[in-house]
Homo-oligomer: A and B are copies of this chain.
Amino acid sequence: MSPSHIYTAYDEELKYLMRRITEMGGLAEQMVGDSVRALVNSDAALAQKVISDDVIMDAAEREIGDKAIITIARRQPVAADLREIIGALRIANDLERVGDLGKSNAKRVMAVQATGVPRKLARGLEHLSELAMIQLKEVLDVYNTRSAEKAKSIRDRDEEIDAMYTSLFRELLTYMMEDPRNITSCTHLLFCAKNIERIGDHATNIAETIYYMTTGAQPEGERPKDDMTSSFGAVTE
């Protein structure tokens, strides 16, 4: 937030946006953890809670969007203040999508319940979701401190999640090949793992947005992360 403007009500509006983003981030983190707990424990009630939480996330994104536009129209911000508000819109959008991914996992709880989640896969999913939650938490901390340096370092390491996802992907394929009765539930777990990997991508998006808010520039260089599984099984001649 630039110190140059003098309207206290305006400061309040910017602070309000920041607070709402932080709340959305907290709920997003919780939804990710809850959805994986629901999957691993076949907990339909917890899954239902995640699905309800997503309604709150959607409403929060809409409210932040409306407030942001009113603030732009009323205050006519430029430079850092304008980037602050546009950044809030983008971050709210990424967090809303994290909520969608949590909901998508929660909705698969009943389908996976049929066979349950083998212990080893459960641990893999839990580990993957922990990594995603840590990344979300760190990126929200950076949102509050506005360190461009830290934002860049989060963006530069999404590899841990990707490596974990790749190993889960292989393991799920193995389970499917061992016993065709695992195919349906493992397919759902594959989508769940992919959802969590995508949550990591959204954390990276948010880090990029914070870098932009703070510096006015896009972080340089190719984004290092990518889904390494897409060539898995490829014929290499």
Contact = CB atoms under 8 A, between A and B. Distances in A.
Given A73-B78, A73-B79, A230 B104 contact: yes
Interface in A177-231: 177, 180, 183-185, 187-188, 190-191, 194, 218, 227, 230-231
Contacts of A134: none
B188 A183 contact: no
Interface residues of A, number: 41
Interface string A44-82: 000000000000000000100000010011001111001
In the complex this chain forms, how many copies of it are found?
Answer: 2
Interface of A: 62, 69, 72-73, 76-79, 82-83, 86, 89-90, 93, 104, 107-108, 110-111, 113-114, 173, 176-177, 180, 183-185, 187-188, 190-191, 194, 218, 227, 230-235
Contacts of A114: 233-235
Contacts of A185: 233
9 contacts: A104-B230, A108-B230, A110-B231, A110-B235, A111-B230, A111-B232, A113-B235, A185-B233, A188-B232
Nearest to A194: B191
A100 B190 CA distance: 19
B183 A218 contact: no
A185 B110 CA distance: 26
Nearest to A73: B78
A104 B177 contact: no
Which of A78, A176, A183, A185 is most buried by chain B, counting CB atoms within 10 A of its CB?
Answer: A183
A83 B110 contact: no
Contacts of A111: 230-234
Nearest to A110: B234
A235 B177 CA distance: 22
Contact of A232 (B76, B82, B184, B235): B184
